[in-house]
Each structure stands twice: as structure tokens, then as C-alpha cells.
Structure 1
Amino acid sequence: MIKSIGLIFLLFFLVQEPVLKKQKLTDYLSMDVSTELRTMTQQELSAKFLGARIPDVAMTDEQSAVEFTITASPTFWQDGDVALLKEFYDASIPPLFQEIDFSQKELVELNEKEFAAYQFEGKPDVEGNRSAEKRYTYLLYTIHRNGLVTISFSCPPYLKSKWKPIAQKMFETTKFR
């Protein structure tokens, strides 16, 4: 009897939904974020974004397998250009990956904001590195206050079944100020 009760509690905790906590991530964006994510250390940022623009927000899990970033940069795109922006990324994302397989490539509206949304699996086409790890990636692009905002989530395929629904729930709570 005690073993049965213990097994029920164990199953409850294993099946339990991930906890999302509302966070103000930047001065322009807030969203609910998994409590399993933590801010990347300076060392992790330097290693992952060597020679690239450091994101406004960069988070990972305890194993450093998951990557969640938010980046804003000035742009020539205007607020009403998200459909045109999508056409641009439709053409510019595939050359950055090997063996890319899209499951989503469309315009979506989240909390009254239009985004170009992409979900896919593929290997980053890193120059000279043909053994790059395949990743599940979920990207949102939008224009906010004359800036291009990119929200990105990626993880290895073996973590996709766990993290895909979490990333979707997180992204659904995106709110701009």
C-alpha cells in the first residue's frame, strides 16, 4: 500500500508540468520563462557568441544543452513589414543549416503582435565544422520600436519532446512594452 502511494507521488512529479514564471527580461519584453532555465555565465556567453553580437538575454539549462536568447537590433524594417521580413528569412535561414526540415514557417499573432515564426530541425552550417550537432530550433522575428527582435530557442533532438511544448508556452506569453 505504501509502495503504491509512493509510486503515485513519483509519477505525479515526473508528469508534472514545467513551472513557468513571469519575468521582465528586457526593458521592451516580458514573458513567462521556465524555472529550469538560468542566465548564461559570462564564460558561456563568450564561448557561444564568439565574434557575434551578445544577445540582450541568454539563458540555458543546467546541462547547457538548451539555448534561449532574445536579441534586438536597429533595423531599416518598419512595423508593418513583418510579412516582407518573413520572405527575407524564408530565403536566408536555409543556407545557415544542413539537412534542414521545417515544421513551421508562417506569420503568427501572439498577444496582438505579428511575428514570423519558424520551427525546424537542422545542423548549423558552421564553417569548417561538418560534425555540428543537429538541433531543434524555434525562432520568432518581429519589429518593435524600429528594431528587429529575434527570440530564439534551441535544443538537441533528444530533448525536443520535453522542451518543444515548454518553448511554445513561453513564446505564447511574449508581451512587448
Structure 2
Amino acid sequence: MILRQLWVVVAIFALSCFAFGGQAQSSIKLKRRQLTPGISMLVPVDFQPMSDDFLAQKYAYFRKPTVMLSDPYGNIDLGVNITEKYWPQEDIPLLKDIYKATLAALYTQIHFHKEAVEKIKHRTYVILEFDAILADEAGEKSAIGVTKPPVKRYYYMMYTVVDNRIVVFNFNAPIQDKALWQPVADKIMHSVKLKNIQLPKEQTPLPDVPSAQPVSR
């Protein structure tokens, strides 16, 4: 009898946690926004463009993306980058292995949850979903002399090609917020619409592999 009562308590607790999680996800309101001419997607209503100063601080080692949004606390980011990299439309599936290798080289540890090539609204995308840890191998210390802890984040990256230019979609959040944001990120990414994109003028290409641009500090 006692064992049965215990199982009832456990079941009720599990159901209450599931219900709370669902309510938390539903509290994140999304609205379709035009992020750049020709690219629209669902975006959390409280996300705003990241300032240049904060962008330079958080993504110090990468070129400025086309668009980068963040939540009011600067913890959760959503970005779009139209790269200058030439890539044939028919070779989109090959991007998966290239970007996976590039990302693996960027982080101290990385665990991929999803590696896929999918059709979304009649367009082919590469999807890479993963958790990553970036340790400060240089031993940089904070203002009070304490070694900075490793950065642990959840990422949902998506890639496609438009007129032979690689377009990158990047969502990332602190690893402790993954349970809340993972289904939201999937919904956001699958809402992407591309139509009559205005590509930036081509510049002289640099001799490197496509930049993944996901690292945040």
C-alpha cells in the first residue's frame, strides 16, 4: 500500500513538472519579423538588436553578422549571417561535414544532438544542434583574480545557400536554459521564410573555410 502511494506521488510530481515546462514554453511569445530584406522568421517579442559594443565583446573573434538579436539580459541570441562564401546550390549537403568539423575545432568539448539535411518550405537546409563547452585555455582571470569558468551553451545552427552564398542562422542559449528553449529554437528555425533576398555586394573572398560564427562568451 505504501509503495503504491509512493508511485502515485511520483507520478503526480512528474505530471506537474511536465505541465510547468509546457506553461513556461507557452509563455515565450513569438512574432514574425523581417530581419533583413528577404528573410523573415518567428522571433521572441522581447528580442532586440544587439548593440555594436556588446556584439564586439560577445563575439570578439568573428566578423559582424548581418543581424544579431538578443533577449533583454543579453543571454540568449538569435542571428542571421549572409556570408561572402561561394558555394554551389547542389552541394548543400556537403556543408554538414565541413561545418561540423569547423565547430568541433572551435570548442573544448562538443556534443551533437542532431545532424541533418532537411527541406523547409521547399528549400534545403543543413541543421546542426549541439551542446558546447569553451574553456579559457589562456587562463584569463576576472577582475577579482579568479580564473573564468568554462562557457557552456546550447546551439541550434542552420545553413542554406541562396544565389551561391551561404546563409547561416544561429540560435544559442546558456546550457541551463536548454530545456526551456530547445523546442522554441526548433519552432523558430522551422519558421524561416526566404523570398527575394537582397545579398550584400561581393567582396574579395578570404582563403578560409566558412565561418561558423557560433561562439559566444
TM-score, structure 2 as length reference: 0.70
For the pair 1:66 / 2:84, whether they are aligned, the reply is no
- State the alpha-carbon separation in 2 of the partners of residues 143 and 75 from structure 1: 10
Number of residue equivalences: 167
- State the alpha-carbon separation in 1 of the partners of residues 34 and 25 from structure 2: 28
> Is the contact made by 2:130 and 2:156 (CA closer than 8 Å) also made in structure 1?
yes
Q: Pick from 99, 116, 141: which aligns with 1:89? A: 99
| Residue identity (%) | 25
TM-score, structure 1 as length reference: 0.85
- State the alpha-carbon separation in 1 of the partners of residues 101 and 23 from structure 2: 43
Q: Pick from 90, 114, 126: which aligns with 1:80? A: 90
Residue equivalent to 1:55: 65
For the pair 1:137 / 2:155, whether they are aligned, the reply is yes
Residue equivalent to 2:168: 150
- State the alpha-carbon separation in 1 of the partners of residues 51 and 184 from structure 2: 22
- State the alpha-carbon separation in 2 of the partners of residues 50 and 82 from structure 1: 28
For the pair 1:41 / 2:51, whether they are aligned, the reply is yes
Q: Which runs of 5+ in 1 are unaligned?
A: 1-10
Hey, which of these two has a bigger chunk of strand by percent? 1
How much does 1:88 deviate? 1.3
Residues 127 and 80 (structure 1 numbering): CA distance in 2 closer, same or farther, change over 3 Å? farther
How much does 1:46 deviate? 2.1
How much does 1:18 deviate? 2.0
Q: Pick from 77, 99, 107: which aligns with 2:109? A: 99
How much does 1:99 deviate? 2.0
> Is the contact made by 1:107 and 1:114 (CA closer than 8 Å) also made in structure 2?
yes
For the pair 1:166 / 2:184, whether they are aligned, the reply is yes
How much does 1:45 deviate? 1.6
Higher-Rg structure is 2
- State the alpha-carbon separation in 2 of the partners of residues 79 and 143 from structure 1: 6
Residues 15 and 59 (structure 1 numbering): CA distance in 2 closer, same or farther, change over 3 Å? closer
User: Residue type matched to 2:151 in 1?
Assistant: E
CA displacement, residues 68-100 of structure 1 (integer Å, 9 cap, x when unaligned): 111011222111111111121232221111221
How much does 1:117 deviate? 0.5
Residue equivalent to 2:214: none
Residues 64 and 85 (structure 1 numbering): CA distance in 2 closer, same or farther, change over 3 Å? same
Q: Pick from 194, 205, 212: which aligns with 1:176? A: 194
